[in-house]
Amino acid sequence: MIDTNVIISGILFPSSIPARVIEEVSSRHTLVLCSHIIDELHLVFKRKFKDKILSLEKFLERLSFKLIYTPKKIEMTSYPDIPDKSDLPILVSAILGDIDVLITGDKEFRKVKIDRPEILSPIEFIERWKPN
């Protein structure tokens, strides 16, 4: 699973490490996105990048991914503590979707005490999964 911030950076900066991560995951692994990430992408683009909404739509149309549903109601005590509660829907989706790796640029995710999914930065993912 690739977090919203990595996808946004990959769309806006096609030669960036986040763009490489998206390419690597979508071509060699199974990319999983949750409904919360899709919703968040649309909200951020409408708020900050109105002139790039068409780029987002084209990107999502071309991208091959498995979509998992993010529950609307989340019992916070059932999941690991997370510093930024607004990130909980993504963490819950990753847990419920049995995701192996969550790739995020959000440093707050690094503070979560959890074995699975493994939480990696874009650079850590590239270093670990770079093709031989």
CATH of the domain at 120: 3.40.50
DSSP structure string for 26-82 = HHHS--EEEHHHHHHHHHHHHHH-GGGHHHHHHHHHH---EEEPPPSS--GGGS---
Q: What's the pLDDT score for residue 108?
A: 87
Q: Which domain holds residue 56?
A: 4-129
How many structural domains does the chain have?
A: 1
pLDDT in tens, 96-122: 999 999 999 998 888 899 999 999 999
Tens-digit pLDDT profile for the chain (132 aa)? 999 999 999 999 999 999 999 999 999 999 999 999 999 999 999 999 999 999 999 999 999 999 999 999 999 888 988 988 999 999 999 999 999 999 999 988 888 999 999 999 999 999 987 765
